[in-house]
Amino acid sequence: MSLRTEKIESTVHHEVAKALAELLPHSLLVTVTGVEVSPDLKKATVWISVLDQDESEVMAEIENVRRDVQKMVNKRLTTKFVPRLSFKSDHGGAYADRINRVLKNL
């Protein structure tokens, strides 16, 4: 991965997190765990971790504000292409927690 791609991922990560904090109800607890930008910079996958809530409801709410989040990212980036955002659930935390519980029970 190039340094440019890493910088864009970092900027998108920061801007998406800030936008979601502004646009989502404060009762929803979400974390942006990562961003993966395609090499051509046209697509970005934003990984979201949902904390102690119904994941499908939270992801539906995020999808409702996706266009507004996209607009906020568009204003911040000054590149030729601004990646189109897509949101996916990150289950890494739950998986790590399950592994830790299994290891403790051994």
DSSP one-letter string for the chain: --HHHHHHHHHHHHHHHHHHHHHS-TT--EEEEEEEE-TTSSEEEEEEEE-SS-HHHHHHHHHHTHHHHHHHHHHH--SSS-PEEEEEE--HHHHHHHHHHHHHT-
Residues 12-37 pLDDT 10s: 999 999 999 999 988 888 999 999 99
Domain boundaries, the chain: 3-104
Question: CATH code for 3-104?
Answer: 3.30.300.20
Residue 2: its pLDDT value, please? 83
Residues 47-103 pLDDT 10s: 999 888 888 999 999 999 999 999 999 998 888 889 999 999 988 776 777 788 888
Residue 60: its pLDDT value, please? 94
Rounded to whole angstroms, what are the CA distances from 25 to 1, 11, 51? 35, 23, 14
